């Protein structure tokens, strides 16, 4: 089966699903990551601050594209592909500050919706993996909502992932449960938690180390503390990653 993962930005899918994607590939599935909002000037741990403002978007976009390529090479499997939609991220697209991206209404502009929908239709996926939208980042919610609107029927296998490091910052399971309940209505199916990505690893330490290696592909975006948070998050699930699955996903044995 082909599994398409929607990643609002470069790195989101890698941080949350580095183990799961590896497991799906080992099981013989093809995996495509669709990176949506990839034009950006957010790379706080790069040299972007030394550049003239006119050069920042092209510099950061190129740096972060190389980070996606580093992850792709690390995975090293032909059935793993990354599609770049080259859309502006929220600060560029909506002319807002980086601290204003949370809690905003999803962007329903024609260009954004049309481009994401077209890419997902072209992917011809048999199953979809979408972000939960934890924290309410407008790009995450927009990508998730457009993907949901593109799903053909309730019979389509769908899973949702917990974004990192956002999931680690959520206080209590109640906040996650509230999002899950909302999305269950959207997909017309009860969403149940499942653990993915643990198979094929020797132990929890192996899983943590692997997640750290994946996260460090994106070192223009995160520091050591964030990398540790991302890597260590899988400990609470015994070295796996938690996803939330609909009935069609479960019936496929994914």
Taking each helix axis from N to C end, the angle separating 138-150 and 173-187, rounded to the nearest 10 degrees, works out to 30
Give the pLDDT score at 167: 84
Cα(130)–Cα(243) distance, rounded to whole angstroms?
10
Which domain covers residue 179, as residue numbers?
2-251
**What sign does the dihedral 106-226-5-60 (CA atoms) show?**
positive
Overall domain count for the chain = 1
Range 92-121 average pLDDT: 92
Residue 187: both structure tokens together? 């997909």
Mind listing the pLDDT tens digit for each residue in 71-98? 999 999 999 999 999 999 999 999 999 8
pLDDT at 52: 79
Residue 175 has what pLDDT? 84
- CA 85 vs. chain centroid, Å, equals 14
* Residue 143, CA distances (Å) to 159, 227, 252 in order: 14, 24, 24
* pLDDT value at 62 more than 80: yes
User: Do residues 9 and 89 touch, judged by C-beta distance below 8 A?
Assistant: yes
pLDDT for the residue numbered 27: 93
| Residue 5 structure tokens | 């993962």
Weakest mean pLDDT among 126-130, 154-158, 244-248: 154-158
Percent of the chain whose predicted confidence (pLDDT) is above 90 = 76
C-beta of residue 35 within 8 angstroms of C-beta of residue 64: no
Q: What is the pLDDT of residue 171?
A: 61
Q: Return the pLDDT at 229.
A: 94
Mean pLDDT of 87-115: 92
5-20 pLDDT, tens digit per residue, is 999 999 999 999 999 9
The residue whose two tokens read 């009935």 is 247
Question: Are 163 and 132 spatial neighbours (Cβ–Cβ below 8 Å)?
Answer: yes
Number of Cβ within a 10 Å radius of residue 171: 6
**Domain of residue 157, CATH code:** 3.40.50.10320
Half-sphere exposure for 86 (CA within 13 Å, toward CB): 2
Q: Is 211:19 a contact under the CB 8 Å cutoff?
A: yes
Lowest mean pLDDT: which of 24-38, 56-70, 191-205, 217-231?
Answer: 191-205
Instruction: Round to whole Å and give the CA distance between 221 and 10.
Output: 10
């Amino acid at each position: 089966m082909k599994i398409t993962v929607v990643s609002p930005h470069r790195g989101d899918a890698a941080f949350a699903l580095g183990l799961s994607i590896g497991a799906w590939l080992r099981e013989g599935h093809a995996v495509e990551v669709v990176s949506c909002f990839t034009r950006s000037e957010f790379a706080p741990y790069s040299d972007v601050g030394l550049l003239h403002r006119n050069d920042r978007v092209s510099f950061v976009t190129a740096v972060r594209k190389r980070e996606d390529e580093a992850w792709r090479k690390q995975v090293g499997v032909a059935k793993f592909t990354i599609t770049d939609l080259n859309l502006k991220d929220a600060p560029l697209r909506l002319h807002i500050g980086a601290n204003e991206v949370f809690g905003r209404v999803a962007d329903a502009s024609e260009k954004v919706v049309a481009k994401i929908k077209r890419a997902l239709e072209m992917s011809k996926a048999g199953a979809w993996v979408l972000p939960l939208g934890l924290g309410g980042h407008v790009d995450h919610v927009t990508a998730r909502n457009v993907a949901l609107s593109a799903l053909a029927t309730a019979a389509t296998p769908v899973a949702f992932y917990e974004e990192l490091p956002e999931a680690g910052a959520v206080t209590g399971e109640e906040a996650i449960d509230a999002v899950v309940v909302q999305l269950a209505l959207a997909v017309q199916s009860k969403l149940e938690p499942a653990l993915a990505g643990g198979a094929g690893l020797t132990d929890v330490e192996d899983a943590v180390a692997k997640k750290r290696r994946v996260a460090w592909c994106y070192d223009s975006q995160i520091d050591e503390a964030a990398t540790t948070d991302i890597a260590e998050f899988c400990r609470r699930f015994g070295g796996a990653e938690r996803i939330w699955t609909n009935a069609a996903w479960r019936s496929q044995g994914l």
